[in-house]
Amino acid sequence: MRLVGYQQKIEIFLKKSSLHIFPSITEAYPMVLSETKIFEIPSIIIGLDYLTLAKRGNVIIYDDNPSAIAKEAVKILKNESYRKF
């Protein structure tokens, strides 16, 4: 991972992405989740089951332990059909 600072055209990065991990549990309506859905990037979301936006095409887990997140990430990245919406 390389931090590049503010980017006006983030679609360059989104087109190259295979997975999005959203570790926040307090977002009301995350714009970044909307952007990943537009580019059909699977997301791992921590406990945001109350968001309508999180209902489809995402994996919602309730354990914010890094091992639990990593386990789901590996499962998604190894199985291409699992990544499909």
Q: What is the pLDDT of residue 16?
A: 86
Q: What is the pLDDT of residue 27?
A: 65
Query: What band does 63 get if pLDDT is binned at 50, 70 and 90?
Result: confident
Residue 16, classed as helix, strand or coil, is coil
Residue 3 lies in a domain: no
- Read off the pLDDT of residues 33-61 as tens digits, 9 standing for 90 and up: 888 888 888 888 888 776 666 667 788 88
Residue 15 lies in a domain: no
Query: What band does 67 get if pLDDT is binned at 50, 70 and 90?
Result: very high
Q: Could you list the residue range(s) of the whole structural domain that residue 60 is in?
A: 24-83
Question: Which run of H or of E encompasses 45?
Answer: strand 43-46
Residue 4 lies in a domain: no
Average model confidence (pLDDT) across the chain: 80
- Quote the CA–CA distance of 74 and 5 in Å, as a whole number: 27
Placement of tokens 């109350």 in the chain:
50
Q: What is the pLDDT of residue 1?
A: 59
Residue 37 lies in a domain: yes
